[in-house]
Amino acid sequence: VTTVGQTLTNFRFLVRSVRWVELAITALIVFFARAVSHLDFPILPVAIVFGASFLWNLAFWYAGRRHLVEERGIEGVRLLMWSWVVADVVTNLLLITFTGGTSSPFLFFLVLPVILGSVALGRPGPSYGVAAGSVAGLAAVWAMDRAGSIPRFRSYPAGSDSMFYQPDIAAGIFLMSVAVLSLLVYTIFRFRPNFFIFQEAFREGRFRIHSFRAGDIQELRLEEVEAIGPEDLLEEVVQNLTTNPSVVFSAAMVFPAGDDTIGGVPGNSWHQGLTRQRIVSVTRRQVIPTWSEFRSERSELFRHLRYAETGDLWEGPFAVLRKDGLFPHFEDAENYLATPVAQDGRTVVVLIVGVRNPVRDRSEVVLHLLNVAAQLKPLMVAETRLSQMRGELSALHDQNESLSRVNRLQSDFVSIASHELKTPLTSIMAYTDALLMHADDPAFGERKEFLRVVRDETDRLLRMVNRILDFSAIEFGQRNLKRTRIEMRTLVEDCVTTMRHDLDRRQVRVELNLPVALPRVEVDPDLMKQVLLNLLNNAWKFSPQGGCITVAAREAASAIEVVVSDQGPGIPEDEVENIFKQFYRVHRDGADTPEGSGLGLTIVRNIVELHGGRITVDGGVGRGATFTFTIPKEQCINDRPETVLGDLVHRPEFTHLMKLLVRMVADYMDCKIVSVMLLSADRKQLFVQVAYGLEEEIVRDARVPVGEGIAGRVVASGRPMLIENVEDIDGFSGPNNPQYETSSLISVPLMMNDQVVGAVNCNNKVTGEPFYAEDLSLLVTLTEKVTLALARALEFEDSRDTLQRTVRALQALVDLHGTETRATKRAVRYAMELGRRMGLTRHQILALQYAVVIHDVGMTRQRRDLLRRRGPLDPGEVQEVRRHPGEGAELVEPFLSADELEEAIRYHHERMDGTGYPHGLSGEHIPLVARIVSVVDAYDSMTSPRPYRRTLRPSEAGSELVENAGSQFDPDVVRAFLDILAENGELSREDYMHLKEGERWLRPASLS
């Protein structure tokens, strides 16, 4: 992605050499002249001047290179150049001061290399800059010296105005200058080919700063290469290449580790255009140098490879311009072109092509390069295939993970089974032993007591066995849900009755707080009772004598929320993460640990998740424990007449996707009712296929003829509709069903492959407000993305993978909504407005709107405890968090129709100064959408309540933005954003003016 000068760093040895040779020779001359000509300038200051100049160069080269060139790109290159100019001028100034002014001979030597160097560098701007700057600086020094404004030591012999008048000195100086010249010429020509490409790159403005680390290649293991398996690919490419008449031969080399040969090994390299005999007769060593030779600094090929090392083929190929004996057996080839193929920043394969035609000038080389590069296109395919294989590898890795999870589970299981099963068994055995011993003793008084213990322990054993069986049935997915619609109250009351005996024993009360209007839930009653019983039992265990357990429920947008809380000791914060793990039990000092399998809460979580819900717990010692779980309100009817989609509807993944769709829409749109209607096969009427929060009767019976009703009209016209008040529409007297609480609704056509197949409807905003235009466009975007993904997934019938990724993506979006990181509606509105002001196209604005909502989707793949963590993260965890933009972009890949969206997700943590992640882009290299998302997201999260810090006021958040404009945020975006905030009344006039006063940040930081 970094397009800034790769070439330059590869010339560091060249530039460095020229400068150091120059410096060393100047120093030699100065001191030599002093020795032979009885000059009396002081040695120490002059030596210090040279030393300082050397250190300056060294410092700028080593310390400055990384910060200047690699991080700031071409800006850095300029800075580096100017640092040399400054160094030259200062050195000269001081030398003249100490050695006797401009009438001394040394000035000549100081100008000479500068001019020579710039000539050698050719036309490129920066080198002229160096030369011109130095000459100008020297001219200024000369003028100042003439005017007498530079103090100087008088160091030449008395009686003569200048040392030039002394013939022996003049002759010595002449000889020295010849020496300097030849050294410089040698240095330049020694690195001539590099110069050549350097100039080329400069001229085309194609800088690619790229430090190629030899270590990277060295570390490559042969096994890795084999795992990638490029054989067939490369063969194909190599064969393709030979169709070019000018290509003499081509070879693909795979880099193995160590110092072995890198090519010529069957299976590791491929040749075309060579006779079989030739290949056989040519030893490996002769075909291609050994690895150590290959990567040695002296190897022409390797040096070229260094600036060609990149996965980008059009930038990558390079030419070896001379026949240099590298491939002595390919006499026909005049020139070699080669291109490396990199994977994850490491060169995996090098493709070498011999070209027959002699190449005389550079333009011809470029032409050849283009020619060959066109032939290399199949390698692009190779790249995709490689990444596919990477995907497969990671799938294998996941499989391994889950296997080892099973292993862990097994060992936990053994442990728990040992303890929890054997403990009652031990008692039973011991008591029966005792009973047996006294079997014939009629006076044995404890018989009854002992038998009761045996009985109790048997009960306990049975409970444990049942739990383990339940657990394994759910854990290993052997149980299907038998859903029925049922009142939550019935379930809770049943459970309380079951527990009555235990509750009474410890005088624990259960308080129910269930609204009368609570919709019925569609659950498996047996399993849901297990959830409630487990939670109640848990609460009961930890409740104090005479305590109170509260069971409450409420209706949220897309789900019913049930809360079970107790007045027990509570769960320590640091245990919250573990509490749902198998066999985990909270340890408390000074309290009896009640009996427990360590499975109860795991079973609870599994059942809740099986129903599509989520369970959380609030921790805190002394506050009691509060468990909250949700039951989604989705309903899906499968026994339907035929739809336009035919059999598609009956595929389980279709149902799954549709359910996820309604849930996602309900979550993101913040509305209580969502339904997906499909067209019947005859295209005459619509019926509800999947619904969220709708009464069952409506779901079952609703039929809307096409052209009538809102959904019917939407389907007929194919255009989305936003109804602010349904009573305003002709022919509608009001909400046609009492379940619709508000008279505002949205309906969007469901399009698949450019055909209307149904509609998505939203009613009842949770806030009770009507829907707005941005709601409509959000719904349009969401629907579009989902149907696109759906169509794509269904297109490839066999592609379970595509489907799984789609499901995963949707699931992640639904999960995202449950986290704190979600964006507010307001943020979406501002982002769209910003997009408009920054001149984005309509298409880009839509992508932006979507991006603001889901940019953190990668977070859902992170460990939950990292997201909750308040304290500092260790470096490994930081790395993990830093992966989320990339993971997010990959996750929602099935939805990506727009590059902007992917860019926005991937780059929203980049910073203007290039210190962000994941790629460290800077300035204009960060896509505009990502810059906008970054600003809006920062403002939104600063002004939203978060548990780990206080909520900022708009003015405070605004000044944070201003403070970081240029370093983190794009100043232009921040400026436009402040305007929007002020216009929306979010910022007061005074605050706005105050922020605007800080003009400092208005200057774009990317220009220095």
Partner 1 sequence: MAAPGILVVEDEQPLARILAYALGNDGYRVETAGDGIECMNRIATFSPDVVIMDIMMPKLDGVETIKLLRQNQLNRDLVIVALSARCSNADREAALAAGANVFMKKPFAIARLLESVEQLLASERSP
Using CA of residue 817, residue 819, residue 825, residue 831, what is the dihedral sign?
negative
Cβ 419 to partner 1 shortest distance, Å: 5
299 near partner 1, rule: CB under 8 A: no
Q: Which of 233, 253, 453, 942 binds partner 1 (CB under 8 A)?
A: 453
Alpha carbon separation from 461 to 45, 80, 455, 595 (Å, rounded): 94, 78, 10, 12
Query: Is 59 or 437 the residue whose CB approaches partner 1 more closely?
Result: 437
In the bound state with partner 1, the residue whose beta carbon lies nearer, of 397 and 422, is 422
Q: Is the dihedral of CA 15, 19, 21, 22 positive or negative?
A: positive
830 binds partner 1 (CB under 8 A): no
CA distance 237 to 382: 9
Q: Tally Cβ neighbours within 10 Å of residue 50.
A: 19
* 3-state secondary structure string across 803-827: HHHHHHHHHHHHHHHCCCCCCCHHH
Residue 232 binds partner 1, judged by CB under 8 A? no
Which residue, 328 or 594, is less far from partner 1 as judged by CB?
594
From 249-257, 417-425, 478-486, 965-973, give the range in contact with partner 1 by CB under 8 A. Answer: 417-425
Q: Nearest approach, Cβ of 435 to partner 1 (angstroms)?
A: 10
The total of other beta-carbon atoms located within 10 Å of residue 612's CB is: 19
Number of Cβ atoms within 10 Å of the Cβ of 835:
27
> Of 52, 74, 434, 648, which lies in the binding site for partner 1, with binding defined by CB under 8 A?
434
Name residue 247's beta-bridge partners.
355
- Residues counted in the chain: 1008
CA 404 from chain center: how many Å?
27
List the one residue out of 603, 612, 606 whose CA is nearest residue 632: 612
**Smaller CB separation from partner 1, 592 or 797:** 592
Nearer to partner 1, 441 or 999 (CB): 441
Contact pick of 456, 696, 960, 963 for partner 1 (by CB under 8 A): 456
- Distance in angstroms (rounded) separating the CA atoms of residues 422 and 434: 18
- Whether 812 and 891 have beta carbons less than 8 Å apart is answered as yes
Tokens of 508: 């624990």
Minimum distance between the CB of residue 586 and partner 1, rounded to whole angstroms? Answer: 11
429 binds partner 1 (CB under 8 A): yes
Candidate segments 11-19, 589-597, 911-919, 925-933, binder of partner 1 by CB under 8 A: 589-597
Q: Is 457 in the site for partner 1 (CB under 8 A)?
A: yes
In the complex with partner 1, the residue whose CB is nearer, 430 or 952, is 430
* C-beta closer to partner 1: residue 456 or 877: 456
Provide, rounded to whole angstroms, the least separation between the CB of residue 457 and partner 1.
6
Continuous H helices in 260-376: 276-281, 284-287, 291-295, 300-308, 362-375
459 sits near partner 1 (criterion: CB under 8 A) = no
Helix (H, G, I), strand (E, B) or coil at 445: coil
The residues that bridge with 523 in the sheet, in sequence order, are: 484
Which residues have CB under 8 Å from 353's CB, separation 6+? 241, 247, 249, 250, 336, 337, 338, 372
Q: Are 114 and 130 in contact (CB under 8 A)?
A: yes
Count of beta carbons in the 10 Å neighbourhood of residue 647: 9
CB of 424 to partner 1, least distance (A): 9
Indicate which single residue of 276, 360, 448, 587 sits in contact with partner 1 (rule: CB under 8 A).
587
**Per-residue string for binding with partner 1, 537-576, x by CB under 8 A?**
----------------------------------------
Q: Residue from 332, 398, 433, 511 that binds partner 1 (CB under 8 A)?
A: 433
Please state the closest distance from residue 410 (CB atom) to partner 1, in A.
13
Name the minimum Å distance from CB 577 to partner 1.
22
> Which residues, in sequence order, are bridge partners of residue 289?
none
Stretch that binds partner 1, among 450-458, 533-541, 625-633, 975-983 (CB under 8 A): 450-458
Looking at the Cβ atoms of 456 and 575, the one nearer to partner 1 is 456
Which residue from 593, 753, 755, 951 is in contact with partner 1, where contact means CB under 8 A? 593
**Which of 121, 124, 1, 9 is CA-nearest to residue 65?**
9
Is residue 784 within 8 Å of 810, Cβ to Cβ? no
User: Which residues, listed in sequence order, are joined to residue 486 by a DSSP beta bridge?
Assistant: 521
Give the residue, chosen from 450, 907, 917, 992, that forms a contact with partner 1 under the rule CB under 8 A: 450
Q: Mark the segment that binds partner 1 (CB under 8 A) among 63-71, 415-423, 679-687, 906-914.
A: 415-423
- DSSP, collapsed to helix, strand or coil, labels residue 263 as coil
Residue closer to partner 1, measured from CB, 446 or 504? 446
The correct pick among 425, 729, 752, 1005 for binding partner 1 (CB under 8 A) is 425
Tokens describing residue 996: 């605007």
| Range in contact with partner 1 (rule: CB under 8 A) among 351-359, 423-431, 510-518, 824-832 | 423-431
172, 127 Cβ separation under 8 angstroms = no
Residue whose CB is less far from partner 1, 22 or 457 = 457
- The one-letter amino acid at 695: E
| Cis, peptide link before residue 594, omega less than 30° from 0 | no
* Largest distance between two CA atoms of the chain: 142
CB of 439 to partner 1, least distance (A): 14
Q: Which of 953, 956, 912 is nearest to 930 (CA)?
A: 912
**Of the candidates 534, 564, 546, 553, the residue with the CA atom closest to the CA atom of residue 509:** 546
For residue 853, how many other CB atoms are within 10 A of its CB? 24
CB-based contact 605:581 (threshold 8 Å): no
Binding residues for partner 1, how many (CB under 8 A)?
Answer: 25
Identify the residue among 204, 235, 324, 446 touching partner 1 (CB under 8 A).
446
SS3 of 996, please?
helix
Which of these segments, 108-116, 445-453, 664-672, 904-912, binds partner 1 (CB under 8 A)?
445-453
Q: State the minimum distance, in angstroms, from the CB of residue 504 to partner 1.
A: 22
- For residues 365 to 404, the per-residue mask of contacts with partner 1, x marking binding by CB under 8 A and - elsewhere, is ----------------------------------------
* Site for partner 1 contains 592 (CB under 8 A): yes
CB of 592 to partner 1, least distance (A): 8
Interface with partner 1 (CB under 8 A), residue from 86, 144, 176, 430: 430
Q: Are 662 and 643 in contact (CB under 8 A)?
A: no
Is the four-CA dihedral 685, 691, 696, 698 of positive or negative sign?
negative
407 lies in the binding site for partner 1 (CB under 8 A)? no
Single out the residue of 871, 835, 879, 826 nearest to residue 853, CA to CA.
826
What's the closest the beta carbon of residue 571 comes to partner 1, in angstroms?
17
Helices 74-99 and 125-146, axial angle in degrees (round to 10)? 30
**Which of 422, 650, 684, 863 touches partner 1 (CB under 8 A)?**
422
Q: Contacting partner 1 (CB under 8 A), which of 238, 428, 840, 962?
A: 428
One residue of 41, 61, 431, 627 binding partner 1 per CB under 8 A:
431
**Binding of residue 440 to partner 1 (CB under 8 A):** no
Q: How far is the CB of 569 from partner 1 (least distance, A)?
A: 15
Least distance (Å) between residue 423 CB and partner 1: 6
Region from 217-225, 419-427, 602-610, 655-663 binding partner 1, contact rule CB under 8 A = 419-427
Single residue of 296, 418, 578, 767 touching partner 1 by CB under 8 A: 418
User: Does position 423 bind partner 1 by CB under 8 A?
Assistant: yes
Bridge partners of residue 616, in order along the sequence: 628
Inter-axis angle of helices 899-907 and 928-943, nearest 10: 50
Binding site for partner 1 (CB under 8 A): 415, 418-419, 421-423, 425-431, 433-434, 437, 446, 450, 453, 456-457, 587, 589, 592-593
